[in-house]
């Protein structure tokens, strides 16, 4: 490891465990909260790769991998916002989604056209504070007008995104409730199925599984972008959710958008965002518009610019990381990762595997995989959180390069000391 | 009216009614949606002041009045955000509020210290996507851990902010429900009282009214800033909500903050924002930090800058508008506005009246004031929406100057043609 890399690593790893430390991983922020008599401190020593003193946090999908691309882009694509701009609540009072910045709407349309991953025509665009807000907006929109006596069940096939149950139930709404694994759902009446494709956590391309007459679908397409998967056809569903977080890496902006076919559903979603947050930050929308503009420009064959094709660049990064991970576990008796089928991508024209944003790592039967990795100071999210088993963990593939390499290095050592694990 | 003003007015008024038009004012966005066979268009003619062709929309409190100050500030305080900045979900993983930008936290503390309107010490700062989100976060935080069998009542003394009932009830939570006017609340058990001071809609300085042992309080201080009211003492309550929207005029940023005494309540509020939107836009926070920095700098007596004191400037604007409004209704037999007592302001050292962000206009008994004004193409919000009577309307005092002047001009004509109103 070079000296420069070590310095970067010192910055990227900012927690140190003491004996008295208990790490809680119930949710995204707790994964960072180190309960200790000492305040967590920056590790200034022992950063030589596999010291047991450092935590590698791959529990959440923080997309810091993308920073290097955006640093190379340079200052030309900086956003500047003068003090007098965007004071009003309104972006375009004549639009159904009155808080959607026209520039963002334009860039969303252009990007979908260039990538070919969704049909925008005949859909309304509703912007949200991340796609999390839009999931809740869609649940509200679909349930509020039905006037059902009981809450409508929200289901998704296991393993499902670990936030769906909590986001559905935290306010104990009478409109909807979490209904669990779609495969075992057998109630009559209306229901909502979340279809995540490629799926979080396991990267599988998905279709609905319940398929009953009274079903309503929300397609979560956070990962349906060319760096992760072949774009096999433009998606064309009633409610499709996207987010800049996993597309461009700008998770801090909290910008998502929904493509919604039905006008009344779109209006109700807008109503939700109005009641919940009175619209969506204008600064974040203007920045997201600029970022999407850069990405679209980077895909143009005739280049009026010096931008490297964003999706090619990040696709190559993902392929490289997945190859490294597969190599790392190939001769390992403890861990397995899934292989994905080759498919032709309409965006690149080439055949490609899926390179998911998360690895869905399986350990040998009987092992509590999350616990085992935690003993080695690798924080991941247990399969149990996704309606699956303790043998599985979800591991972010989107960390900074030094963290990722350190993770692989440490993973490879677990094989050698695995007999010391109490569960083996 | 000058030619320049007329041109500005043409831009600021962008809707035209036709005979077939129906205006709905049930909520903030619908107040802008003109249902018509024609698309609403920019009025290019008949802008000579009191033409019945133009709509003046003062239904919502869009703070565009502040634009002129920020235009004068110039380009020195522009925010620039490079493409690689703020990709992560996290702002400061070691902070209880892990998505709060350190710079914003610093500027919030400085501003409260300079203005003297709230005690920050011994409080946690929780940032939100506007204070609307923080109201919901506070309701969740206060109710979720109580495990009450029935939803906890949320009350506020009438006239109360028209959004409280809808924001409390729209998801039909089992945790809390709207309980109506605090003055007629007589249930036993825990309850939450919203205390808005100065109050929206009527500008009155308020204290809690229920005052029972099991009461929990949320103080909404959106308007407790020197342009609107005397700062009589630094507020020091369990949960205090603020927003840049009404302080600086940057409603489009969607940035609010809560000062929260109890650590567990603050943690739960953070949890709400995590589940609801996974944090708050970094761009909006960075911009808000810069804007607060400018305001604080503008208040410094020894000036290292050319900034006009923001609160003095805007206080003078408010005083001027209120004088004009009072003059306009003084000899009018139809309308009345409240007078506010003089109080000493610790911030300026001077005595001042309250100059609320909204006028709480009362009409002669028996008149549906909102309907009457609507007939004259002035959109306001009926007193009924605030738990009050049809004789009252709430009118925004924060519109652009041309809109405000046109409103006064048109208001003065209503007296002369009031006999034509069907309700008189």
Q: What is the CATH number of the domain that holds B53?
A: 3.90.1150.10
Question: Contact A287/A103 with Cβ under 8 angstroms?
Answer: no
Q: Is residue B77 part of a domain?
A: no
Q: Is the pLDDT of residue B46 over 90?
A: no
Among residues B145, B159, B78, B126, the alpha carbon closest in space to that of B385 is found at B159
A361 membership: H or E segment, kind and range: strand A358-363
* Residues A18 and A137 both lie in one domain: no
Q: Which of A24, A63, A139, A277 to mutate to test the interface with B (most CBs of B within 10 A)?
A: A277
Query: What is the Cα–Cα distance from B2 to B9, expressed in whole angstroms?
Result: 10
Domain boundary pick from A252, A268, A298: A298
Question: What is the predicted pLDDT for the residue at A155?
Answer: 98
Q: Which of A14, A30, A62, A83 to mutate to test the interface with B (most CBs of B within 10 A)?
A: A83
Q: What average pLDDT does the structure give for chain A?
A: 87
Query: What is the Cα–Cα distance from A63 to A186, expressed in whole angstroms?
Result: 37
Residue A174 contacts B where some CB pair is shorter than 8 Å: yes
Residue B213 contacts A where some CB pair is shorter than 8 Å: no
Q: Which residue from A88, A91, A251 is facing B89, i.e. has the nearest CB?
A: A251
* Residues B280 and B316 both lie in one domain: no
**C-alpha to C-alpha distances, B89 to A90, B134, B230, B285, nearest whole angstrom:** 26, 19, 39, 13
Q: Is residue B287 part of a domain?
A: yes
Domain count, chain B: 2
Q: Is the pLDDT of residue A350 over 70?
A: yes
Question: What is the predicted pLDDT for the residue at B301?
Answer: 75
Query: What is the Cα–Cα distance from B282 to A249, expressed in whole angstroms?
Result: 13
Structure tokens at A111: 């990007």
* Residues A14 and A149 both lie in one domain: no
Q: Which residue from B39, B93, B276 is facing A133, i.e. has the nearest CB?
A: B276
Which region among A35-49, A249-263, A362-376, B120-134 has the lowest average model confidence (pLDDT)?
A35-49
Q: Is residue A152 part of a domain?
A: yes
Q: Which residue from A83, A132, A173 is facing B78, i.e. has the nearest CB?
A: A83
Q: Is residue A322 part of a domain?
A: no
Q: Which residues contact A76 (CB under 8 A, 6 or more apart)?
A: none
* Residues B131 and B206 both lie in one domain: yes
A70 vs B306, higher pLDDT: A70
| Mean pLDDT to the nearest integer, A314-343 | 93
* Residues B61 and B97 both lie in one domain: no
Among residues B377, B250, B24, B159, the alpha carbon closest in space to that of A271 is found at B24
Query: What is the Cα–Cα distance from B256 to B243, expressed in whole angstroms?
Result: 4
* Residues A33 and A167 both lie in one domain: no
- CB interface of B with A, residues 111-140, below 8 Å: 129-130, 132-133, 136, 140
Residue A93 contacts B where some CB pair is shorter than 8 Å: yes
Q: Is residue A166 part of a domain?
A: yes
List residues bridging with A118 in a β-sheet: A235
* Residues A132 and A255 both lie in one domain: yes
Query: What is the Cα–Cα distance from A108 to A293, expressed in whole angstroms?
Result: 9
Strands (E) located in B78-150: 79-81, 124-129
* Residues B64 and B106 both lie in one domain: no
Contacts of B170 in chain A (CB under 8 A): 140, 144, 272, 275
pLDDT single digits (tens) A164-200: 999 999 999 999 999 999 999 999 899 999 999 999 9
Query: What is the Cα–Cα distance from A164 to A27, expressed in whole angstroms?
Result: 12
Question: Looking at chain A, which residue has its C-alpha nearest residue B42?
Answer: A94
Structure tokens at A288: 């997201």
Question: Contact A56/A95 with Cβ under 8 angstroms?
Answer: no
Residue A87 contacts B where some CB pair is shorter than 8 Å: yes
Which region among A124-133, A300-309, B52-61, B236-245 has the lowest average model confidence (pLDDT)?
A300-309
Residue B252 contacts A where some CB pair is shorter than 8 Å: yes
Domain boundary pick from B240, B274, B298: B298
pLDDT tier for residue A53 given thresholds of 50, 70 and 90: low
Shortest Cα–Cα distance, B32 to chain A (Å):
6
Question: What is the predicted pLDDT for the residue at B53?
Answer: 58
* Residues A231 and A293 both lie in one domain: yes
pLDDT tier for residue A78 given thresholds of 50, 70 and 90: very high
* Residues B65 and B147 both lie in one domain: no
B117 CB neighbour count, 10 Å cutoff? 23
Q: Is residue A392 part of a domain?
A: no
A307 CB neighbour count, 10 Å cutoff? 20
Question: Looking at chain B, which residue has its C-alpha nearest residue A130?
Answer: B277
* Residues A115 and A230 both lie in one domain: yes
Query: What is the Cα–Cα distance from B155 to B195, expressed in whole angstroms?
Result: 9
Q: Is residue A231 part of a domain?
A: yes
* Residues B121 and B231 both lie in one domain: yes
Query: What is the Cα–Cα distance from B69 to B79, expressed in whole angstroms?
Result: 17
Residue A39 contacts B where some CB pair is shorter than 8 Å: yes
pLDDT single digits (tens) B82-135: 999 999 999 999 999 999 999 999 999 999 999 999 999 999 999 999 999 999
Domain boundary pick from B298, B330, B345: B298
Q: Which of A129, A255, A313 to mutate to test the interface with B (most CBs of B within 10 A)?
A: A129
pLDDT single digits (tens) A266-292: 999 999 999 999 999 999 999 999 999
Give the range of the structural domain holding residue A37, as residue numbers without chain letter.
1-51
Give the CATH number, domain containing residue A176.
3.40.640.10
Q: Is residue B74 part of a domain?
A: no
């Amino acid at each position: 490891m070079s000296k420069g890399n070590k310095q970067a690593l010192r910055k990227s790893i900012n927690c140190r465990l003491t004996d008295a430390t208990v790490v809680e991983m119930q949710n995204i922020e707790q994964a960072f909260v180190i309960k200790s008599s000492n305040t967590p401190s920056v590790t200034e020593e022992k950063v030589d790769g596999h010291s047991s003193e450092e935590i590698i946090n791959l529990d959440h999908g923080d997309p810091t991998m993308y920073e290097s691309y955006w640093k190379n882009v340079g200052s030309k694509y900086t956003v500047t916002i003068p003090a007098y701009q965007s004071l009003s609540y309104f972006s375009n009072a004549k639009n159904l989604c009155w808080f959607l910045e026209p520039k963002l709407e334009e860039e969303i349309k252009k990007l979908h056209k260039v990538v070919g991953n969704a049909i925008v025509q005949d859909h309304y665009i509703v912007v949200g504070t991340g796609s999390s807000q839009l999931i809740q907006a869609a649940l509200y929109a679909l349930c509020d007008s039905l006037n059902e006596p009981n809450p409508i069940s929200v289901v998704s096939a296991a393993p499902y995104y670990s936030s769906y149950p909590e986001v559905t139930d935290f306010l104990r709404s009478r409109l909807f409730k979490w209904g669990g694994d779609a495969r075992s759902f057998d109630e009559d009446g209306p229901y909502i199925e979340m279809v995540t494709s490629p799926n979080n956590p396991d990267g599988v391309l998905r279709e609905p599984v319940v398929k009953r007459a009274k079903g309503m679908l929300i397609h979560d397409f956070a990962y349906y972008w060319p760096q992760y998967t072949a774009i096999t056809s433009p998606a064309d569903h009633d409610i499709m959710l996207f987010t800049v977080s996993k597309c461009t890496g700008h998770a801090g902006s909290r910008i998502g958008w929904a493509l919604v076919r039905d006008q009344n559903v779109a209006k109700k979603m807008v109503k939700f965002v109005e009641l919940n947050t009175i619209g969506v930050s204008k600064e974040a929308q203007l920045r997201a518009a600029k970022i999407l503009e850069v990405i679209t420009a980077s895909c143009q064959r005739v280049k009026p610019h010096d931008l490297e094709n964003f999706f090619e660049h990040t696709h190559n990064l993902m392929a490289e990381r997945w190859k490294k991970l597969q190599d790392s576990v190939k001769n390992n008796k403890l861990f397995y990762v899934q292989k994905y089928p080759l498919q032709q991508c309409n965006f690149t024209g080439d055949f490609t595997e899926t390179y998911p944003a998360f690895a869905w790592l399986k350990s040998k039967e009987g092992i509590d995989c999350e616990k085992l990795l935690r003993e080695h100071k690798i924080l991941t999210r247990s399969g149990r959180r996704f309606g699956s088993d303790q043998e599985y963990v979800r591991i972010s593939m989107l960390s900074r390069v030094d963290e990722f390499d350190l993770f692989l290095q440490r993973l490879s050592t677990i094989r050698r000391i695995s007999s010391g694990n109490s569960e083996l």
